[in-house]
Structure 1
Amino acid sequence: MTLHLAIVGSGPAGYYTAEAAQKLNGGDVRIDIIDRLPTPFGLIRAGVAPDHQSIKAVSRRYEKTALTDNVRFAGNVSVGEGGISIDELLGLYDAVVLATGAPTDRPLGIPGEGLPGVLGSAAFVGWYNGHPDFADLAPPLHSESVVVIGNGNVAIDCARIIAKLPEEFEGADIVQHAVDALGASQVKLIRIVGRRGPHQVSFTPKEVGEMGELARATPVVDPAVFPPVEEDDALEPGLRKVVTALRGFAAAGPDPEKPVRVHFDFFLRPVEVLGDGKVEALRLERTRLIDGRAEGTGEMLDIPCGMVISCIGYRTIPIAGVPYDERGGRFVNEEGRISPGLYCVGWARRGPTGTIGTNRPDGFAIADLIAAEITPAGKPGRAGLDPLAAEKGVDIVTFRDWQKIDAAEVARARGSAPREKFVAVDDMMTTARS
């Protein structure tokens, strides 16, 4: 008897789970990968920096899985409120795996964070990557000063994208509306703010190194923020390279020929966003390390700025009928098991930690769990999903339909760009049905 599996979410966690699940039930398995957008690949398409094309190449592996006979992409299908419910999916499939990722921003939790000009990184990254939810964001790049909160790669990505000239996006799939806005940007000062010091950052060497190669921007680090150089020896190799690069920036000082400054500011904690009807400044408290934790000193500092980008983490979107961990921003689960027949994987399971590749062993572990716990029960799977979708007025987009969108985006590409993405779902659907 065929095992029917639904995977909700078509990002890395979803496709790695599908790849592992193809071996379930002796290969007699049918898998539907469901996504609310007509386009697959999730974070790879809309989260990875557009000037990091080598990372995006992993989608070719997912494409191989998508084109096998027992896997189907079912795009343009919402799950949860207003769409197909979890109970309906559980009635159609032997097992349902939530691989929805963590697509919304963790709130700053400080006064003033609702002011216009305060953006979460999910929104800002989605804007320059052409995600339909954020295409109309219009970030205030007319300001001369921007503060980016966070000490991870997303913070560096946001700062780097703002600092680049349009010609530095050769070969990138950044969308045209972002190139135009960034080309007209008046930003001269970008501050990357972190609560702790250089030894506690989550940057990786590649991202830090790129900051020293920008055409019009120069990195700035205060030499006083570093501990004695001898303490670098205790760091793991990757972090040691990062700290060495930061020490190099501090020693070199800013390049006077470059008009844009990118400051790495350490030992500062955001306290309040200040402004009357819009962002005008960010109030920060100086911190110090006590047993590795950042503690406030009571000394305050106001930094004038016209935009604040928060890069402090992400949250999974709750789904009706699925227990949710508000504190962790993920689904309540036990090693991926939510309830009988219902599982979660990737960031939806463990929170927003790890790299793209971390999702592969996660997906294989969930497939093993399903193999141990689920016996095919004669459920209809996709044969039941299609009439239910039609009844609800849902027009399912298959992978073959996505290939039409893909081809059209490639044909629209400007210059050396690999594609020019559609940023409106209506345009995607028109192309899919052409």
Structure 2
Amino acid sequence: MSRTLRVAVVGAGPAGIYASDLLMKSDQDVQIDLFERMPAPFGLIRYGVAPDHPRIKGIVKSLHNVLDKEQLRFLGNVEIGKDVTVEELREFYDAIVFSTGATGDQDLRVPGSDLEGSFGAGEFVGFYDGNPNFERSWDLSAEKVAVIGVGNVALDVARILAKTGDELLVTEIPDNVYQSLSQNKAKEVHVFGRRGPAQAKFTPLELKELDHSPTIEVVVNPEDIDYDAASETARRESKSQDLVCQTLEQYAMRDPKGAPHKLFIHFFESPVEILGEDGKVVGIKTERTQLDGNGGVTGTGEFTTWDVQAVYRAVGYRSDAVSDVPFDEQRAVIPNDGGHVIDPATGEAITGLYATGWIKRGPIGLIGNTKSDAKETTEMLLADYANGALPAPAKPETEAVLNFLDGRDIAYTTWDGWHLLDAAERALGEPEGRERKKIVEWDEMVHHARSTQNS
């Protein structure tokens, strides 16, 4: 088709940026507007990766290269479904791709989850990553802490809790985060998983990096190193899983190094209750489990009460619904057939609406999964366009949507605005010899991003 394909991508994290990149790399003449609710791009790379992981944040450089392309326009500080409805957005685009990710916490369905001192890991991540939607201070008075889950988010939370504030001061954490972390009283951090080492969802490098801090001693009970036939098969079939098991075995066998903060990784302990007194967490009760031969576990009836004053559940993120877009509340995803948004009432695809990333398949997988996910969705979109299945928008002109936003008095931010905000954060960090110091307040981010914009 001769006309330019106009696409709105909603969500400027890795999923949305990878989908945009694939569309631009196709043979199709395409123009993309990348909408983001936050004033800044990059999603969980900016607000979901622990600040002491600069290696992972290097992904931002490759995302920068995509956003630098002329066919792509970043429009931040715009919430689709609130500032602009989906139906209004349809006037300007042939297709809309939802890539809104997941920042909420899955529930831990055990008694006591609502006690004071029981937190979702995502809440804590939002705090220490300076997300303006989350708390500005954090009570870190607990000397013994439990973290529920055996994925990388659990490791991040456990590591931040076990480190000192001064160790993290070299990172981009803002002053309010440092002030809370510098008051951290945690001496013991207990990470609990209900299955065994071969079922842990850590990545090998993340697990090894736990022990790099001179203030942290990782402790694994040798009795927790256990495998059944399915576990041995999992190790043989995955080099990554085998490396995780090897690292855990090394932790279990070595001599203590005498670091002041102990980080215990417990396997075969299934949380059954968070214990409280006067409405506050005072412990956690777990049931000992055992492998069933197929990689699963069964309870043994043996219970242990652990003395902890705070519990962080890292059992998965949960996506939020977008107004006027179908949403499966149970699975917390947009119903889809691999790319097209599906109307649950009819079972039919909704013309022009697509989904990719965690809002499409749930909060599982790494960057590689996100890329393959985007490929599946964008191939469907391009095929629909080539087959004439996407009606032309009423207002396809590139300036039409900007005029609409201006008419609504929406203070949208742009890619040039991101460079201004980026420069402001780097200037804040420079006097302290840091790469940047993250700006937390929403209005302050918008101010910097629009300081020479629309003037």
TM-score of the pair, normalised by structure 2: 0.89
Alignment partner, residue 380 of structure 1: 395
- Show the counterpart of 2:344: none
Q: In 2, Cα distance between the equivalents of 1:112 and 1:392?
A: 45
Alignment check: 8 A CA contact 2:169 2:178 kept: no
Q: 1:5 — aligned with what? A: 7
Q: Deviations over 1:195-251 (max 9, x none)?
A: 101111011111111222221121111111112699756362222221111111111
Q: Distance in 1 between matches of 2:10 and 2:332?
A: 17
Q: CA deviation at 1:389?
A: 2.4
In structure 2, what is the equivalent of residue 370 of structure 1? 381
Q: Is the 8 A contact 1:117 1:278 kept in 2?
A: yes
Letter in 2 for 1:222: N
Secondary structure, counterpart of 1:263 in structure 2? strand
Name the counterpart of 1:191: 190
Per-residue CA deviations over 1:239-282 (Å, capped at 9, x if unaligned) read 22211111111112433x32211111111112222222222222
Letter in 1 for 2:401: L
- Give 1:307 deviation, angstroms: 1.5
| 1:138-170 per-position Cα deviation (integer Å, ceiling 9, x unaligned) | 332111111000001111111111112234336
> Whole-Å Cα distance in 2 between the matches of residues 272 and 384 of structure 1?
55
Q: Aligned partners of 2:11 and 2:248: how far apart in 1?
A: 37
Identity, % of aligned pairs? Answer: 37
In structure 2, the partner of 1:329 is 332
The alignment partner of 2:70 has SS state of: coil
In 1: Cα distance, 2:215 partner to 2:38 partner: 36
Distance in 2 between residues matched to 1:25 and 1:229, nearest whole Å: 50
| Residue of structure 2 equivalent to 1:123 | 123
- Structure 1 partner of 2:247: 245
Q: How does 1:180-219 map to 2 (within 5 A)?
A: 180-219=179-218
The residue number in structure 2 matching 1:305 is 308
Deviation readout 1:39-85 (Å, 9 max, x if unpaired): 000011111121111211122222222222221100000112x3322
Q: CA deviation at 1:392?
A: 3.3
**After superposition, where does 1:148-297 map in structure 2 within 5 Å?**
148-169=147-168, 171-227=170-226, 234=236, 236-255=238-257, 257-275=258-276, 276-290=278-292, 291-297=294-300
Q: 2: CA distance between counterparts of 1:53 and 1:171?
A: 11
For residues 298 and 229 of structure 1, the distance between their equivalents in structure 2, rounded to whole angstroms, comes to: 20
Kindly indicate whether the alpha-carbon contact (under 8 Å) linking 2:216 and 2:259 is maintained by their aligned counterparts in 1.
yes
> Are the counterparts in 1 of residues 92 and 393 from structure 2 also a CA contact under 8 Å?
no
Q: Following the alignment from structure 1 to structure 2, what is the Cα–Cα distance between the partners of residues 23 and 157?
A: 35
1:247 corresponds to which letter in structure 2? E
The answer to whether structure 1 residue 75 and structure 2 residue 93 are counterparts is no
Q: The residue matched to 2:399 in structure 1 has which SS?
A: helix
How far does the alpha carbon of each residue in 1:268-308 deviate from its partner, in whole angstroms, 9 at most, with x for none? 11222222222222222222222322332333322222211
Question: Is contact 2:196-2:227 (8 Å) kept?
Answer: no
2-structure distance, mates of 1:385, 1:277: 50
Cα distance per residue 1:324-381 (max 9 Å; x no partner):
2223221110011102100000111111111123222222322221111024614325
Q: CA RMSD in A?
A: 2.0
Q: Please list every run of at least 4 consecutive aligned residues from structure 1 whose deviation after the TM superposition is greater than 6 angstroms.
A: 228-231
Q: Is the 2:13–2:42 Cα contact (8 Å) retained in structure 1?
A: yes
- Structure 2 counterpart of 1:212, one-letter code: D
Question: C-alpha distance in 2, partners of 1:274/1:97?
Answer: 44
CA contact (8 A) 1:330 1:348 kept: yes
Name the counterpart of 2:62. Answer: 61
Aligned pairs, how many? 430
Unaligned runs of 5+ in 2: 342-349
Preserved contact between residue 90 and residue 342 of structure 1 (Cα < 8 Å):
no
CA contact (8 A) 1:221 1:253 kept: no
Highest RCO, 1 vs 2 (Cα 8 Å, sep ≥ 6): 1
The answer as to 2:406 corresponding to 1:403 is no
* Alignment-derived partner of residue 349 in structure 1: 360
In 1, distance between residues paired with 2:92 and 2:111? 46
Cα separation, 2, equivalents of 1:59 and 1:379: 35
How many angstroms does 1:25 deviate by?
6.6
Q: Using the TM superposition, give the Cα deviation of residue 177 of structure 1 relative to its aligned residue in structure 2, in angstroms.
A: 2.3
How far residue 118 of structure 1 moved from its aligned partner, in angstroms, is 1.5
Q: In structure 2, what is the equivalent of residue 424 of structure 1? A: 441
How far apart in 2 are the matches of 1:258 and 1:378? 63
Change (3 A) 1:25 1:385: farther
TM-score by length of 1: 0.93
How far 1:394 moved relative to its partner? 1.5
**Residue in structure 2 matched with residue 84 of structure 1 by the alignment:** 84
Equivalent position SS for 2:406 = helix
Counterpart of 2:346 in structure 1 is: none
Structure 1: where are the runs of 5+ without partners?
none
For the residue of structure 2 that corresponds to 1:74, the secondary structure is strand
Could you tell which deviates more after superposition, 348-357 or 11-20?
A: 348-357
